[in-house]
Structure 1
Amino acid sequence: MTDRGHLTYPAHLQLATLKLAAGRTPEELGLNRWTIIEHQEVLGHGEECFREAGRRVLTWQAHRRARVRAERFGPLVRLHIGPLMSSCLVLLEEQTATRTALVYGTLPSHVELGEEAFLVDLAPDGTVTGRVVAFSRHSWWLAKLGGPVARAVQRRANRAYVAGMRP
């Protein structure tokens, strides 16, 4: 875990995406007034699939396949989505025998306030699952004004991120 820096959401919510992924409810975590978006898909089967999907997450290829360009400067990442640029702070990068995780939190220039986790899990039966879990609120006035459209764009991006994990 890294220093909070200037994250745009409360400190007690840091890494709450992992708790959501583990089955905790938004109410338990104090996320009642936040929008929760989750998407997961089976990516394939076996160790090779797991390693490759995890590599795609940690090297930002899953983002690139979703047409999001990432520039990394240590824990700081600038995400370029078309003409928009949003900054975030990497809070966790982890690889274990059964999980790869990348979690980042939003910084002041991000269009949303919140956190997003990108997970690749290897089940005991060899099934590889890709998953994105996020909690957020709109930050920019334009996103607030076009709330339903902005949420639809976010859901579409999360599906594209998971698709980008697939080897």
Structure 2
Amino acid sequence: MTTRSDLTYPAHLRLATLKLAAGRTPGELGLNRWTITDHEEVLGHGEDCFREASHRLLTWQAHRRARVHAERFGPLVRLYMGPRMSSCYILLEEQTPTRTVLVYGTLPAHVELGEEAFIIDLAPDGTVTGRVIAFSRHAWWLAKIGAPAARAVQRWANRAYVSGMRPGNFP
């Protein structure tokens, strides 16, 4: 059975993505040798937008925008991009009236080592923002060889995930 202890990065970095999102620096968190990706966009306005964006995230529709198919088995998630499968473990899934958060960490069958957080916020003025923030290192040999291309794919996927949160955007 896969557990949180099977994650492929150090235990002291668990949920560091949320600390990065809150303004802590990579240096403060011991992430200087990790690649940080961070993408945020305004998704729309109002509670209906917030609810729909949250639904799109938590039902994995946002991932489909990045051509990623997700299968969830409790806290275990298998992500498929083409024929390649990557496994993740959900560390946090939380909804409040103004915030939705999903954080997962990588398991041994993932092309990267690290963690990714998906955050949707409803501001007091009604603005809804979507954000994906991650820290990672390449784990798969092909990603290591093609590091610049692999990083470009990561940046593209993060933008697509956020775009996929936007109500009205279909995969």
TM exceeding 0.5: yes
Aligned to 2:98: 98
**Aligned residue type for 1:121:** D
Range 56-65 or range 155-164, more displaced: 56-65
Aligned to 1:54: 54
Aligned to 2:66: 66
**Aligned residue type for 1:45:** H
Aligned to 2:75: 75
Give the TM-score normalised by the residue count of structure 1: 0.97
**Aligned residue type for 2:153:** V
- After TM superposition, the structure 1 = structure 2 runs for residues 3-152 of structure 1, keeping only pairs within 5 Å, are 4-152=4-152
**d(CA) in 2 for partners of 1:90 and 1:43?**
24
Report SS of the residue matched to 2:24. coil
| 8 A contact 1:80–1:86 mirrored in 2 | yes
Give the TM-score normalised by the residue count of structure 2: 0.95
Q: Deviating runs (4+, > 3 A) in structure 1? A: none
**Residue 5 (structure 1) shift:** 2.7
RMSD: 0.7
Question: How many aligned positions are there?
Answer: 165
| 8 A contact 1:4–1:11 mirrored in 2 | no
**d(CA) in 2 for partners of 1:160 and 1:65?**
6
**d(CA) in 1 for partners of 2:5 and 2:90?**
11
| 8 A contact 1:43–1:165 mirrored in 2 | yes
Unmatched runs of 5 consecutive residues or more in structure 1: none
Report SS of the residue matched to 1:24. coil
**Residue 4 (structure 1) shift:** 1.9
**d(CA) in 2 for partners of 1:57 and 1:9?**
24
Report SS of the residue matched to 1:70. strand
**d(CA) in 2 for partners of 1:5 and 1:73?**
17
